[in-house]
Chains A and B, each alone.
Chain A
Amino acid sequence: MSDLLKIADKTYHSRLLVGTGKYKDFTETRAAIDASGAEIITVAIRRTNIGQNAGEPSLLDFLPPEEFTYLPNTAGCYSADDAVRTLRLARELLDGHKLVKLEVLGDPNTLYPNMMETLAAAKTLVKDGFDVMVYCSDDPIIAKQLEEIGCVAVMPLASLIGSGMGILNPWNLQIIIENAKVPVLVDAGVGTASDAAIAMELGCQGILMNTAIAAAGNPVLMAGAMKKAVEAGREAYLAGRMPKKLYSASPSSPTSGLIS
């Protein structure tokens, strides 16, 4: 069955997008990403270490940009200006690459997004020719506004970044999904495989996660579990679940032909 994820005119087989942070080393990062089957991977943009460790391997040596679709993020940015500046540098760094993840944070403790700044940054970036995948609160009105600005994907949180608390408000996610004309991906909050499956069963087009894999006891094993959960949840969504009933007077086995 051909069921591809389409973002900004490009198609992907995998609906699991993964971050590259918090791993023990680059070897583990690579192994976990391979096990996840992810084609889109997020990276952060940071100051280069000057004058030290000149020959040290970099993330790009282990995850060549030719093999993956890089999704540079604006993690750590607290204003629209900083986020825009970061992504312009990312575009230069990645040879004109347009697909980016916008996130503007509002609070260092919760990492909850600042949606006023996010909206402002999204406007500037879309005008500047970027394909913006945007991290946002699970407010259906904000999600719609981001879509109308021209973002190519809307990515509400399931719960706070790095919390692993799972899908806290499936009803809001469902409203966002039902109203959206662009892909909706859950970004942040997934803790384990069942969370990923639930998000996909709700009709999400994909999931972006980092900590749920990197902070697992065995990240590579969890990466494989997440791959299967995303696939299982997607197939269950496409198949359409049976209606829920408190009880059923219709057993699965025939009622006739019983021995007596």
Chain B
Amino acid sequence: MLITINGKPRSFEAANLSVADLVQHLELVGKRLAIERNGEIVPRSQFEATQLADGDKLEIVGAVGGG
């Protein structure tokens, strides 16, 4: 399936992929981040339960220095 992450398309072999799987795949486990799927926030508590679908658009954000 094809998923757009932070504006870049990426293809995944797996037919079933949860947000938690994706976080692990992207080596982001333990990082403080927030995820938006198709414009809706996915709460951390729902990472396991939320299955991704072909064509999903994800934003994965963190805190950086700023004024």
Contacts and interface: CB of A to CB of B under 8 A. Distances in A.
Nearest to A187: B67
B44 A70 contact: no
B21 interface: no
A59 B65 contact: yes
Given A50-B5, A90-B34, A45 B63 contact: yes
B28 to A, nearest CB: 7
B27 A21 contact: no
B6 to A, nearest CB: 4
By DSSP majority rule, is chain A's interface helix, strand, loop, or mixed?
mixed
B28 A42 contact: no
Interface in A52-106: 54, 58-60, 70, 72-73, 75, 85, 88-90, 92-94
B65 A29 contact: yes
A88 B67 contact: no
B67 A211 contact: yes
Interface residues of B, number: 26
B18 to A, nearest CB: 17
A21 B63 CA distance: 11
Contacts of B53: none
A89 B27 contact: no
A45 B65 contact: no
A246 to B, nearest CB: 41
A46 B67 contact: no
B64 interface: yes
Given A88-B41, A89-B59, A92-B41, A44 B64 contact: yes
Contacts of B62: 45-46, 48, 58, 93
Given A48-B60, A50-B28, A70-B63, 20 more contacts: A21-B65, A21-B67, A22-B67, A43-B63, A44-B67, A45-B34, A45-B62, A47-B6, A48-B33, A48-B61, A48-B62, A58-B31, A73-B66, A73-B67, A75-B66, A85-B39, A90-B34, A94-B63, A161-B67, A209-B67
14 contacts: A21-B64, A43-B66, A45-B62, A46-B62, A47-B61, A48-B60, A48-B62, A50-B28, A51-B26, A51-B27, A70-B63, A85-B39, A92-B34, A93-B61
Interface of B: 5-8, 26-28, 31-36, 39, 41, 43-44, 59-67
Lowest 5 CB-CB distances: which A-B pairs, in order?
A44-B66, A19-B67, A210-B67, A93-B34, A92-B34
